[in-house]
Amino acid sequence: MDASLDGKVAVVTGAGSGIGKAAARMLADNGVRLGLFDMDTSAVEQTASEIEEAGGTAIGAAVDVSDSSQLKQAYKQMLDAFGRLDIVFANAGINGTLSAIEHLPEEDWDKTLGTNAKGTFLTVKLAIPHMKERGGSIIITSSINGNRTFSGFGMSAYSASKAAQTAFGKMAALELSNYRIRVNVICPGGIETNIDKRTKKDEEHLAEITIPKIFPKGQHPLKGRPGKPEDVASIVCFLASDASGHMSGSVLYADGAETLL
């Protein structure tokens, strides 16, 4: 257990599955009390239940992070329970609709940017008043897409939102340094999660824009497979802890050297 995390309080968005769930469980194993936010009520309650059964402390809330009123209520619920906030893992996100730019509906662009970019902004904005006195750590899940990789055909909205998160994280790191709040960004590569199940693909129009790619044998050089949610969760714990106490404004790539091919 990391002693510097013991007794702290964290909010994790997108905590019902994948990276968010793995990070929440790992933070709990290190003594962190958790407010878990996710749109999927049953999933976030399941994560909270698993943490409680393992001896940790967590409360779950059904939250659409693009809705400021829902976020405010969830933060209030968490603060009423725990009285403080030290760590924010702004992780909630969607792939959205994959389509050619020409055929991508405006409302689908808005939904992806609303969840990923606006949702991150609101999650951070509403946390600041509760972190200013003691400082703390904010961690944002971005992606290799929009930062190092641009071959995800049909992912223009997703990539734009992920590039926006990285830029926002750097701006926030400097601005919030006045309050000793650190802000860092993680850009995962291929990770085994269920995000693709909620992805809508416009196969007909994707075929119009796809450019053939030939990868060297093995797209994931380091381990020969996509990463696990726990591979990112361990980085979250590092960035949340005192071990990264002089890091802010950094962008960490967790892709097993995938984007160096």
pLDDT in tens, 195-213: 566 666 657 666 776 666 6
Model confidence band, residue 223 (pLDDT cutoffs 50, 70, 90)? confident
Model confidence band, residue 214 (pLDDT cutoffs 50, 70, 90)? low
Yes or no: say if 141 and 23 are a contact pair by the CB < 8 Å rule.
Answer: no
The Cα 87–Cα 6 span in angstroms is 12
The DSSP secondary structure of 24-84, one letter per residue, reads HHHHHHTT-EEEEEES-HHHHHHHHHHHHHTT--EEEEE--TT-HHHHHHHHHHHHHHHS-
Does position 23 have pLDDT exceeding 80, yes or no?
yes
Would you say the C-alpha torsion 190, 24, 61, 167 has a positive or negative sign? negative
Model confidence band, residue 191 (pLDDT cutoffs 50, 70, 90)? confident
Q: Which domains does the chain have, with CATH numbers?
A: 9-253 (3.40.50.720)
Mark whether 158 is an active-site residue: yes
What is the model's pTM? 0.91
Give me the pLDDT at residue 133, please. 95
pLDDT in tens, 44-70: 999 999 999 999 999 999 999 999 999
**Given 75, 158, 179, 253, the catalytic residue:** 158
User: Angle CA(41)–CA(43)–CA(48) in degrees, nearest 5?
Assistant: 95
Joined together, the tokens standing for residue 136 give 């703390």
pLDDT in tens, 94-124: 999 999 999 999 999 999 999 999 999 999 9
